[in-house]
Amino acid sequence: SDVYKRQVQPDSGAFPELIRETQGGLICRADDAVSLADDLERVIGDPELREKLSLRGMNSVRQSYQAGAMAARFEELMGPMAS
């Protein structure tokens, strides 16, 4: 299922930062099929873990990445520069 693919990401690019920020997934070693398979097996075989990762990721994205939250953070960062 696609949900498993979204919950397991490689340790390259922006994925580690995104997973750490949202706590919505597992990070496997890039270009390591065994690492990917192990993490997919964990997510597929553990419904509680899968649900916990899904809820964490969804809630984090809703709280931090919606337009209003992003605009407020932008204003917070830019406020001192605008004065």
3-state secondary structure the chain: CHHHHHHEEECCCCHHHHHHHHCCCEEECCCCHHHHHHHHHHHHHCHHHHHHHHHHHHHHHHHHHCHHHHHHHHHHHHHHHHC
- What is the reported pLDDT for 74? 87
- The tens place of each residue's pLDDT in the chain, 83 residues long, gives 555 567 899 999 999 998 998 999 999 999 999 999 999 999 999 999 999 999 998 888 888 878 888 888 888 888 877 65
pTM of the model: 0.71
